[in-house]
Structure 1
């Protein structure tokens, strides 16, 4: 099985439980892995035979614009939207990192990672 990656996608968004998080916002870093068959595209050199990572990026940006309290909810929506648009995807792993969580101490960020497998062609 083949994979497509989008790595360290940086998006400014407004997610969080605290009211100020929905007003101030912060940067988020997203890392995505999806599995699908890319061999037809490898042979044809035709965009129609693959999944455009630009389309995946558009889905990520659209879903990140929708405010959520939980990163789990954001990640779940992104995964569902990708699969709804590209049913040939058999597996998606997504990590969403909030770069400036409102917590004590210095840290690179707080993250959630969701993984989901799908039957091929569903």
Structure 2
């Protein structure tokens, strides 16, 4: 098994529990790691034998555009769609961070992480 990761994906989106957050928007950072067998791609150098991380980025981008109240739901949607799209993926780990969340004090980011396996 191997891992493919995209780290530090940045988006401006309209997520948040409070209506005001959904109107104003905020900056978000996403990290995603998938576990898959890419032995064949390592041998034959063909994209169709691995997970195309350009398409993985596009999937995350699509989900980030859908307004969501909770980061927990957002991470679950990204994980579920990833496992549905690529049957060769055994597990996925997704982290979504809201940068400078409105907490009334200094906080660089609020982060939610979900790991989901195909067998679980």
| TM-score of Structure 1 vs Structure 2, range by shorter chain | over 0.9
TM-score under structure 1 normalisation?
0.95
1:53-103 superposed Cα distances (whole Å, 9 cap, x missing partner): 000000000001011100000000001111111011101111100002110
Residue of structure 2 equivalent to 1:60: 60
Per the TM alignment, residue 23 of structure 1 is displaced from its structure 2 partner at its CA by 0.9
Q: Deviations over 1:7-28 (max 9, x none)?
A: 0000111000111111110110
Q: Number of residue pairs matched?
A: 119
RMSD of the alignment, in Å? 0.8
Residue equivalent to 1:8: 8
Provide structure 1 residue ranges, at least 5 long, that are not aligned to the other structure. Answer: none
**1:108 Cα deviation from its structure 2 partner:** 1.1
Superposition misfits of 4+ residues, deviation over 2 angstroms: none
Q: Any stretches of 5+ residues in structure 2 without a counterpart?
A: none
- Superimposed CA distance per residue, residues 31-63 of structure 1 (whole angstroms, 9 cap, x where no aligned partner): 111100011000111111111000000000000
**TM-score where L is the length of structure 2:** 0.96
Query: Are the aligned partners of 2:100 and 2:106 in contact in 1 as well (CA < 8 Å)?
Result: no
Residue pair 2:75, 2:96 contacting (<8 A) in 1 also: yes
